[in-house]
Amino acid sequence: MVKVIKHKRDSKKITLFKLEHTNMKFVEMADGLIIHTKNEDFLITDDDCDENEIDVNKQIKNLFSIGNTTNYKVKIQFTSKTNEKYYISFNPQIITIPPNYGCEFSLFLTPLCNSTMESSFVINYFIFANDSKTCIHQMDFKYITKISTRLDPDSLIEEKQLGVGSFGVVFKGKLGGNTVAIKKMKNATDSNDQMAEFEKEVSMLYKFRCDYIVHFYGAVFFPNKICMVTAFAEFGSVCDMLKNKDAKDVDMKLRFKMCLDATKGVSYLHKNGILHRDIKPDNVLLFSLNPNDVVNGKLTDFGSSRNINMMMTNMTFTKGIGTPNYMAPEVLNKEKYKMPCDIYSLAISFFEIIGWAEPFPKKRFKYAWDIADFVGKGNHLTYDENFGIETQEMINSMWDFKPKNEFYATKL
C-alpha cells in the first residue's frame, strides 16, 4: 500500500506535454528522439547563482526534456556509472513517452570534491515497434566546482615520503603549483562519528587565517584515501632542528624567534576559542631560518584540537591525545582543563628550545610515568646558564598557573 501511494505521489511530479504546445528548441538525439537542455554542452549550473561554478557537497537540480517524434510509445530509462567524485540521479528514472509527446526530467547532481568534470550518463530507450530493441545513447555533461576543502585525490602528486607515525604517513607532494605536505590518515573515519568529527575539523582548519598557523589547503574524504594537505615546511620542524643541530649552531635570537612565533600562533587560536592540546617543538614547523624574517615558525597538527565551547564543559583527559613531556599537571591527573594547558605546553617547549636540550632527559626520566609523577607533584625543571632572569620569570609565570586562573597566550 505504501509503495502504491509513493508511486502516485511521484507520478504527480512527472511533466508530460504535447510537443506542438511547446516553444522549446530541441535537437536530434537518435531514432526520432529529440532533446532540449538549457545550454549546448550540458554544463550543469546552479539556477540560484549567476556563476557557472557550483558548490561542492551541495545537490544541484537541472532540468532537461526529451521528446518522442515517432509514431510509437518509447520507454526511457537512465543509467550511470558509479563515480566516487559525484552522485547523480534522475526523476523520473524510468518512463514511457507517448508519440508526439515530451517529458521534462530532473537531473540531480552532488559534486563530492573540487573538480572540472567531463562525464556522461546513458539514456536507454525502447521503441514499441515490431522490430524494436533496446538502444542506448550516451549523454555527455560537464560541471565546474567552486574551490572548497574537499580535494580531488587525483589533483595530488606524491613525491617523497617524509615520515611515518601512528596516525599514518606524511608525503611531500604537489597540489597544482604548490609544494605541500600530504598527511595520509589511518583509521580516521572508521565510524560515522569519526567522519563527522573529521569534517568539523577540516571546516575549522580552513577558516584559519594567520601567518603563524600552517596554511591548510583541504582534505580528501574518500574511503581509503583520507588525507589532509598543508603547506610544506622546507626546514622541517623545530624538533628536527633540535635533533640535527648543535646548540652552538643555532643563534639565541632564532631560538627566541621560534618561541615568539609559536606564541603568536597559540594566541590566534585562543582568540578564536580553540585549544590546541598538543603544543610541542614537533608541531612548530620552520619556513625560514633567518630570525629577521617576519615569520619563521608556524603551528601545525590540530588533530587533537577541540572547540572551547566543548572544552568548557565537564570533559576530562582523553587517552591518546597529547605528549606526556608537554602535558600540564591537571591533564596528567585527569582533572578538568582549559586554555592554560596550552600555556604550560608552551612553557616546556620554550625550556627545550632556549636551553637546546631535552626537558626530561632519559637518564633521569626512564619511563613516561616518571615524567607524569614528577609533573603531577608540581615539580619544575631546573634552568641552566642559557636562561636569563627575565626568561626564567616568564617561563615560571607560564607553568606556575593554577587551572582556575585565566592565563592566555595574549598575555605573553
| Contact criterion met (CB below 8 Å) for 339 and 272 | no
DSSP 130: T
Q: What is the bridge-based pairing of β-strands 101-111 and 60-68?
A: antiparallel
How would you class 167 by CB atoms within 10 Å of its CB: exposed for 0-12, middle for 13-18, buried for 19 or more?
middle
Among residues 152, 261, 278, 301, the one annotated as catalytic is 278
Which domains does the chain carry? 2-145 (2.60.40.10), 149-232 (3.30.200.20), 236-412 (1.10.510.10)
Backbone angles phi, psi at 101, to 5 degrees: -120, 160
Cis omega (within 30 of 0) for bond into 329? no
How far is CA 290 from each of CA 253, 298, 350, rounded to the nearest angstrom? 9, 14, 19
Span 116-144, pLDDT tens digits: 999 999 999 999 987 888 899 999 999 99
The H or E element spanning position 94 is: strand 94-97
* Spatial contact of 397 and 389, defined as CB atoms under 8 Å apart: no
Three-state SS at 180: strand
Bridge partners of 145, per DSSP, are: 54
Report the distance separating Cα 30 and Cα 85, nearest Å. 29
Check whether 184 is labelled as a binding-site residue. yes
- Locate all alpha helices (DSSP H) within 176-237, ordered by sequence: 192-207
Q: What pLDDT tens digit does each residue of the chain (412 aa) get? A: 333 333 344 445 789 999 999 999 999 999 999 999 988 889 999 988 878 999 999 999 999 999 999 999 999 999 998 899 999 999 999 999 999 999 999 999 999 999 999 999 999 999 998 788 889 999 999 999 999 999 999 999 999 999 887 678 999 999 999 999 999 987 655 667 778 878 888 888 888 999 999 999 999 999 889 999 999 999 999 999 999 999 999 999 999 999 999 999 999 999 998 888 889 999 999 999 999 999 999 999 865 544 444 433 433 434 444 458 998 887 887 776 678 889 999 999 999 999 999 999 999 998 888 888 898 888 899 999 999 999 999 999 998 765 545 555 555 5
| Pairwise CA distance, residues 218 & 210, whole Å | 16
Is 278 annotated as catalytic?
Answer: yes
Query: Up-side HSE of residue 37: CA atoms within 13 Å toward CB?
Result: 16
Output the nine-digit C-alpha cell for 215. 596554511
**DSSP conformation class of 298:** E
User: 298 with 284: CB under 8 angstroms?
Assistant: yes
- Residues contacting residue 286 through CB under 8 Å, at least 6 positions apart: 233, 234, 235, 236, 237, 238, 241, 258, 296, 297
Instruction: Please give the mean pLDDT across all residues of the chain.
Output: 87
Long-range contacts: 126-132, Cβ < 8 Å, 24+? 126/74, 126/75, 127/31, 127/32, 127/70, 127/72, 127/73, 127/74, 128/72, 128/73, 128/74, 128/75, 129/70, 129/72, 132/72
In tens, the pLDDT along 307-338 reads 444 433 433 434 444 458 998 887 887 776 67
